[in-house]
Amino acid sequence: MSTTTEPGPRAKAERPSRLAHAGRNADERLQAASPLRTLLNKVFPDHWSFLLGEVALWSFVVLLLTGTFLTLFFDPSMEHIVYEGSYTALRGVEMSAAYASTLHISFDVRGGLFIRQMHHWAALLFLAAIVVHLLRIFFTGAFRKPREMNWVIGVLLFWLAFLLGFTGYSLPDDALSGTGLRIAHAIMLAVPVIGTWLASSLFDGPFPGEVIIFRVYIAHVFILPLLTLGLIGAHLALVFKQKHTQWAGPGRTNTNVVGERMVPRYAAKMVAFFLVVFATIALLAGLFQINPVWLFGPYKAAVVSVASQPDWYVMFLEGSTRLFPAWETRFSLFGEHFTLSPLFWPGVVLPGVLTVLMLAYPFLEQRITKDNRIHNLLQRPRDVPVRTGLGAMAVTFFVILTISGANDVVAKSFDISLNAMTWAGRIGLIILPPLAYYITHRVCLGLQQHDREVLAHGVETGIIKRMPDGRFVEVHQPLGTDLEYTGWAVPKKMNRLGALAPAVRGFFVPIERPAAPPEVAPPAPNGHDDTGTGEHTRTDVERR
């Protein structure tokens, strides 16, 4: 443990600086230096796709900040009042206190509408980032051993975020949120055996009752955020413990991490990225109107508008409900009569099956491939065509359901018959996912084939040569040496031969030439040793 004090004028002082003294004092009591050093020296691999989860994290932070502001003004009560606020078109209308306070936030609290819109956009972004992050993890095989548990936590986090979003959507008690709650109530009723008890205990009697907004509020501001925070903590702790996955490349192996240290570079980037996410949400909130509750009016059971959609992450369930035939099953069992509601299949079974499949996927894949090794290197999607195909299949399924959830809006906007939309959704849901699988699988194989061609014959040069017998052939530049890594981009252009990243001046790529790959030799025993006074390198290596 060498001190970082360098020989210089300050070193002449006989006793350590006041700061060092204070630090030693603190460490003698807290003994935090050693764990902190590990933490601060933590190496993070750098790739844009690793930042997607961070988008979710930072939008959650924005959600906490803006949500706290909103709780200062929101009144989660279903007490009937007559609105007398500043929105003319609702003055004199009877409504719940919850809706009135939402209008108050929107029109009478300084900055209230902006913060409300930020909160809502951040919620949409949170879910969107979770889904994109999930896709990245799936397609690159980052869920494989030893990270299956973190995949499971991630799936649970998606559903927690889903519930957070849905409860938040229900809180203002406008006509749209009431309609959503009504559907949720109907789905609860469709759960066999316990449905009736579940729904009536949650709503304290028949729909809508007098308490649901308050209960949803407690779930939204206390129970669910707490669970989410806990799981996010576990999620990140596991990433720290197991260390981040990385792409294969020169010097990057299954047993090391190549990247940047937490402090100062990576931390600086993280802070900057948080600010970028914050700014993006603020821009969205300032420019794009979202959830204009004042247009929807207070919830009344008789009011159901056309274009009543949930937020985008719930829309796949709306779509499944719209597409699924209205099959009601009645049967007798042990002398009791049961009814399976038409909502049972699209509203209960489908999300249940999807969740179980998602939770089980890493274990299923492990079982089928009989691959029990530890994987710290990511896979390129093309190298695992079956998994990539399955992912494309799932995405297609989800997208068709989501579009069908808004099929009336699509029908109106593009002059399509609503009936045609419904049937296109039904047929598409059966035909398109297998088609997506087939196409993706073929594309992956084709890309692999091209990689192999380059490895065997070299890079295309664009030089066409005429042979003595009249044939034309393209000259290939052989790669020269064997690549010392597999599973990463194969150079395909002349100027990229042997380069880790293109050394081109530009916005999205580093301006300076990428550093030479670090020595492949095992890193220093303590794992964190800096390369010292030699040539400055951009990357750090940490052993796993």
Q: How far is the CB of 298 from other proteins (least distance, A)?
A: 9
Chain length of the chain: 544
Q: Is 504 helix (H, G, I), strand (E, B) or coil?
A: coil
Whole-number Å distance between alpha carbons of 325 and 322: 8
End-to-end CA, the chain: 20
Q: Is 176 in the site for other proteins (CB under 8 A)?
A: yes
Which of residues 361 and 539 has its CB atom nearest to other proteins in the complex? Answer: 539
Nearer to other proteins, 193 or 287 (CB): 287
> x-or-dash pattern for other proteins, window 260-279, by CB under 8 A?
x----x---x--xx--xx--
Quick check: helix, strand or coil at residue 430? helix
Which of positions 31-60 make contact with other proteins (CB under 8 A)? 46-52, 54-55
Cα separation values, 267 from 44, 50, 233, 239, 264, Å: 10, 14, 18, 16, 6
Positions in 406-425 near other proteins (CB under 8 A): 406-413, 415-421
Bridge partners, residue 474, by sequence: 464
307 is an interface residue for other proteins by CB under 8 A: yes
**Interface segment toward other proteins; rule CB under 8 A; list 198-206, 298-306, 375-383, 491-499:** 298-306
Check: CB of residue 58 under 8 Å from CB of residue 277: yes
Considering the complex, state which of residue 195 and residue 297 has its C-beta at the smaller distance from other proteins: 297
> Should residue 142 be labelled a site residue for other proteins when binding is judged by CB under 8 A?
no
- How is residue 39 written in tokens? 């933490």
Binding-site member from 19, 193, 287, 368 for other proteins (CB under 8 A): 287
Interface residue with other proteins, options 1, 13, 19, 89 (CB under 8 A): 89
289 binds other proteins (CB under 8 A): yes
Query: Is 196:118 a contact under the CB 8 Å cutoff?
Result: no
Nearest to 228 by CA among 123, 309, 310: 123
Give the whole-angstrom CA distance, residue 358 versus residue 352: 10
Angle subtended by helix axes 97-107 and 112-140, to nearest 10: 100
Q: Toward other proteins, which CB reaches closer, 46 or 365?
A: 46
Instruction: List alpha helices for 406-500, DSSP H.
Output: 407-413, 418-457
Measured distance CA(392)–CA(398) in Å, rounded: 10
- DSSP H or E run through 35: helix 33-40
Check binding of 295 to other proteins (CB under 8 A).
yes
DSSP single-letter state for residue 154: H
Contact flag: residue 306 with other proteins (CB under 8 A): yes
Q: Three-class SS of residue 283? A: helix
Using CB under 8 A, which residues numbered 499 to 518 contact other proteins? 507-510, 512
By CB under 8 A, is residue 326 in contact with other proteins?
Answer: no
Where does residue 306 rank: exposed (0-12), middle (13-18), buried (19+ CB within 10 A)?
Answer: exposed
- 284 is a site residue for other proteins (CB under 8 A): yes
Ranges within 423-482 binding other proteins (CB under 8 A): none
Minimum Å gap between C-beta 242 and other proteins is 21
Nearest distance from C-beta of residue 393 to other proteins, angstroms: 20
| Residue 304 binds other proteins (CB under 8 A) | yes
* Residue 425 · residue 323 · CB < 8 Å: yes
- Scanning residues 201 to 260, which ones bind other proteins (CB under 8 A)? 260
Q: Does 63 bind other proteins (CB under 8 A)?
A: no
Q: Provide Rg for the chain, Cα atoms.
A: 29
Closer CB to other proteins, 419 or 486, in the complex: 419
Q: Does 341 bind other proteins (CB under 8 A)?
A: no
Bridge pairing between strands 329-333 and 336-340:
antiparallel
Q: Does 404 bind other proteins (CB under 8 A)?
A: no
How many residues form the binding site for other proteins (CB under 8 A)?
85
Nearer to other proteins, 406 or 459 (CB): 406
Nearer to other proteins, 34 or 419 (CB): 419
Is residue 365 a contact point for other proteins (CB under 8 A)?
no
By CB under 8 A, residue 368 contacts other proteins: no
